[in-house]
Structure 1
Amino acid sequence: MPGAHEVTYKGQPWFNVGKKTFALMSDERAILRLERGHQELLFEIRPETFQKCPVATVHWAYVALSHLEEVELADLVREAWAGIVPKKVSRAYFEALDRRRVS
């Protein structure tokens, strides 16, 4: 994902674009910055997997990694990344990703 890089904070991997964080790992769960409407849906239909992150802003969700397939986690990380980069960057990335999937 363009601009994404990993940093370590208190021994845990954080994934940023510039100084903005979009995902971090903590033991058996991830903390992802997801679109608010999507978060609310996930909290409602899959409460065993997705929970509100009570100490952070409304954009962060706890995600139980043991309840996800690798493909679903990758999609969620891409969604989190897309939420902090300019739309033209995410649009170009997803168009290229779609072209690779079709080929």
Structure 2
Amino acid sequence: MATVDDVRALGQGLERSYPVRVRGRLKFRVGQLVYVAFSLDEQVMGFAYPRDERAALVATDPRTFELPSESDLRFHWVHARLAALDPDEARELVVDAWRMVVPKKLSRAYDLTHPRGPNGPPA
């Protein structure tokens, strides 16, 4: 089971990423772009995800993933229940969301320092 602490540690270590509290909710931003946000009870993690791929993600495991509210469908966003994610899966989703909001050079630099992916040790 993934926890907010798993994501917090990763989010604070990603370049240009920083945590903020907005109306009691923990969010991670790069600049003004939010790429991960938690529900008030910290049971659900919203994260940036390609709009054209999110229906397929939700279809793979509807008990874990769900579409955002109708008003948020215009954004590149999906929700996941943290209790249904393992920590490695949560880390991968967070890094992929971060990649959507940073320049490609930062994403490539991350790949060079983490050749085994977000779950492997740095090089």
Same fold, judged at TM 0.5 (above): yes
Structure 2: distance between partners of 1:36 and 1:3: 23
Counterpart residue number, 2:8: none
Q: What is the distance in 2 between the residues matched to 1:38 and 1:76?
A: 13
Q: TM-score, normalised by structure 2?
A: 0.76
The answer to whether residue 64 in structure 2 is matched with residue 49 in structure 1 is yes
Distance 1:79 1:62, change over 3 A: same
Match of 1:67 among 84, 92, 115: 84
Give matches, 1:8-19, under 5 Å.
8-19=21-32
Q: Cα gap change, 1:44/1:95 in structure 2, threshold over 3 Å: closer, same or farther?
A: same
Q: CA deviation at 1:102?
A: 7.8
Say which structure is richer in strand.
1
Structure 2, unpaired ranges of 5+: 1-13
Give the Cα–Cα distance (whole angstroms) in 2 for the partners of residues 3 and 15 of structure 1: 10
- Return the letter of the residue paired with 1:3: R
TM-score, length-scaled by structure 1:
0.90
Is 1:21 matched up with 2:34?
yes
SS at match of 2:115: helix
Determine which of 60, 80, 84 is the counterpart of 2:97: 80
Residue 91 in 1 paired to residue 91 in 2? no
2:54 aligned residue? 39
Give how far 1:38 is off: 3.8
Q: By how many angstroms is 1:76 displaced? A: 0.2
Contact 2:48–2:77 under 8 Å retained in 1: yes
SS at match of 1:98: coil
Aligned residue identity for 2:45 = A
